């Protein structure tokens, strides 16, 4: 009997020890997870790079979109647009970067003007000698970021995110609706950039395109600073044959009509340059306008939502969650 009681106590002690170990390991994993996630975060050109998820969308044939040759070609061509004219310079001959920026769009423009002179090919091949001003511009661009941005992306991480990029062109810079950041009202800017990237083969480089949103905050003492940059890469072999989430009218009809039930009828589509304005009406007669920007790979990217109030369009934010 003594042996049996001793055995039971030993087993019980063993179970307790195992439970303590499991709890300790779980606690350690929980503590490690945020750092692990940060370590594996994908950065590109100083931004957080995310990917589109096309898995939830039905093919275009199911949504009444009938692609012809002109429609397909829209998605399979590079940009014919000239980059925005350069305004800010950092070279020895001409240096005109101000100590403070008085508007968010100007600091974003300066950021990409500076980067247009930078190159960091790393182990990628391209060019036939030096490219631009090499690595020199990156610290200047980094100076335009907010303290919070810098805490999340130390300079070494920022610099390495440009590996393989020989040149950057700014194609679009558009004001977007204001956004709340830590109980402050911040600015939001839509951008599209064109990069020339090196490859593993000598004599072979590629043009790539990215779009996204940049936020900026006004630090009264230091002027405007860039607070965050999020970009998405543009795929040129998807939209021509699959999905509907790249077509402005289909997005409004399906998401705001069929899924959310906010609008009942599309009343008009206005095309103005790379803007697409889709007007719609709800069952109770409210008028809505959804503005999109068409990027280089032919996709329409939603920029803002508005409702007509007192004879004027007022920006609103409609949640896409049902």
pLDDT score, position 219? 85
pLDDT score, position 292? 98
pLDDT in tens, 203-261: 899 999 999 999 999 988 899 999 999 999 999 998 888 888 899 999 999 999 999 99
Indicate whether 59 and 156 sit together in one domain.
no
pLDDT score, position 55? 52
Indicate whether 92 and 188 sit together in one domain.
yes
Question: Could you say which of 233, 259, 291 is where a domain stops?
Answer: 233
Indicate whether 104 and 160 sit together in one domain.
yes
What pTM value is reported for the model?
A: 0.81
Q: Which residues of the chain have pLDDT under 50?
A: 1-40, 56-57, 60-62, 64
Please give the Cα distance from 188 to 49 (Å, whole number): 17
Indicate whether 184 and 199 sit together in one domain.
yes
Indicate whether 136 and 225 sit together in one domain.
yes
pLDDT score, position 254? 93
Could you tell me which of 254, 274, 273, 275 has the C-alpha nearest to residue 263?
Answer: 254
Q: 229 is in which domain, residue-wise?
A: 79-233
Q: What is the DSSP letter of 129?
A: S
Indicate whether 161 and 210 sit together in one domain.
yes
Number of domains in the chain: 2
Could you tell me which of 243, 203, 213 has the C-alpha nearest to residue 53?
Answer: 243
Please give the Cα distance from 312 to 174 (Å, whole number): 21
Indicate whether 62 and 168 sit together in one domain.
no
Could you tell me which of 259, 257, 255, 277 has the C-alpha nearest to residue 268?
Answer: 277
């Amino acid at each position: 009997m003594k042996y049996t009681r001793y055995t039971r106590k030993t087993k019980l002690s063993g179970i307790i020890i195992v439970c303590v170990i499991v709890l300790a390991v779980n606690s350690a994993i929980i503590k490690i997870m945020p750092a692990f996630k940060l370590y594996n975060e994908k950065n590109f050109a100083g931004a957080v790079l995310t990917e589109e998820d096309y898995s939830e969308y039905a093919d275009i044939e199911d949504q009444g979109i009938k692609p012809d040759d002109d429609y397909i070609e829209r998605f399979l061509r590079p940009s014919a647009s000239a980059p925005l004219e350069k305004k800010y310079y950092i070279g020895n001959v001409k240096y005109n970067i101000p100590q403070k920026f008085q508007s968010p769009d100007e600091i974003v423009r300066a950021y990409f003007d500076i980067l247009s002179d930078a190159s960091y090919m790393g182990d990628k091949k391209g060019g036939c000698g030096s490219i631009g001003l090499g690595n020199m511009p990156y610290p200047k661009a980094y100076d335009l970021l907010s303290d919070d941005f810098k805490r999340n992306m130390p300079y070494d991480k920022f610099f390495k995110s440009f590996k393989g990029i020989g040149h950057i062109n700014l194609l679009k810079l558009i004001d977007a609706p204001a956004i709340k950041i830590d109980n402050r009202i911040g600015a939001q800017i839509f951008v599209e950039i064109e990069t020339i990237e090196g490859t593993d083969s000598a004599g072979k480089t590629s043009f790539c395109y990215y779009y996204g949103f940049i936020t900026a905050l006004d630090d009264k003492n230091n002027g405007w600073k860039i607070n965050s940059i999020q970009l998405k890469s543009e795929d040129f072999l998807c939209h021509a044959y699959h999905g509907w989430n790249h077509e402005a009218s289909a997005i409004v009809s399906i998401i705001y009509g069929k899924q959310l039930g906010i609008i009942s009828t599309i009343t008009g589509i206005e095309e103005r340059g790379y803007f697409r304005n889709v007007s719609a009406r709800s069952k109770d007669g409210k008028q809505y306008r959804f503005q999109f920007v068409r990027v280089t790979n032919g996709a329409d990217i939603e920029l803002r939502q508005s409702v007509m109030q007192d004879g004027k369009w007022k920006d609103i934010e409609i949640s896409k969650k049902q």
